[in-house]
Structure 1
Amino acid sequence: MRLNSERVYIRRMENEDLEALLDLRLRNRHFFKPFQPITLDSHYTVEGQQEILEKIYHDWNSGSGYGFGIFLTNDDRLIGRVNLSNVARGAWESCTLGYFIDENCNGQGFASEAVHLAIGFAFGPAELHRVQAAVMPRNAGSTRVLEKVGFRYEGFSEFYLKINGVWEDHNLYSITRERWNS
Structure 2
Amino acid sequence: MDGEAAAPLVPGVRIRLLRRNDASGLSEAYRRNRRHLAHWEPERDEAFFTPRHQLDIIRAKLVQHSTGQEVPWVLVGHDDPAYILGAVTLTGIARGPFLNANLGYWVDSSLNRRGIGSAAVRFATDHARTELGLHRIQAATLLHNEPSRKILGRAGFREIGVAPQYLKIAGRWQDHLLHQLLLHS
Alpha-carbon deviation of 1:16?
3.0
1:53 aligns with 58
Q: TM-score, normalised by structure 2?
A: 0.91
| CA contact 1:88–1:95 (8 Å) conserved in 2 | yes
Instruction: Determine whether 1:122 maps to 2:128.
Output: yes
The CA distance in 2 between the partners of 1:157 and 1:63, in whole Å, is 27
1:99 aligns with 105
Identity of aligned residues (%): 30
- Structure 1 unaligned segments of length 5 or more: list them: none
Cα distance per residue 1:117-158 (max 9 Å; x no partner): 011111111221110000011111111110111111111111
Amino acid at match of 2:22: D
1:79 aligns with 85
- Structure 2 unaligned segments of length 5 or more: list them: none
Q: TM-score, normalised by structure 1?
A: 0.92
| CA contact 2:9–2:116 (8 Å) conserved in 1 | no
Instruction: Determine whether 1:167 maps to 2:173.
Output: yes
Cα distance per residue 1:87-135 (max 9 Å; x no partner): 1111101010000111111121101101110111111112211100000
Alpha-carbon deviation of 1:75?
4.9
Instruction: Determine whether 1:39 maps to 2:44.
Output: yes
Amino acid at match of 1:18: A
1:2-41 matches, cutoff 5 A: 2-7=6-11, 8-41=13-46
Number of aligned residues? 179
Instruction: Determine whether 1:89 maps to 2:95.
Output: yes
Alpha-carbon deviation of 1:15?
2.4
Alpha-carbon deviation of 1:22?
1.0
RMSD value, Cα: 1.5
SS at match of 1:35: coil
Amino acid at match of 1:157: A
The CA distance in 1 between the partners of 2:153 and 2:17, in whole Å, is 25
The CA distance in 1 between the partners of 2:23 and 2:163, in whole Å, is 35
**Match of residue 66, structure 1, among 51, 62, 71:** 71
**Match of residue 148, structure 2, among 123, 134, 142:** 142
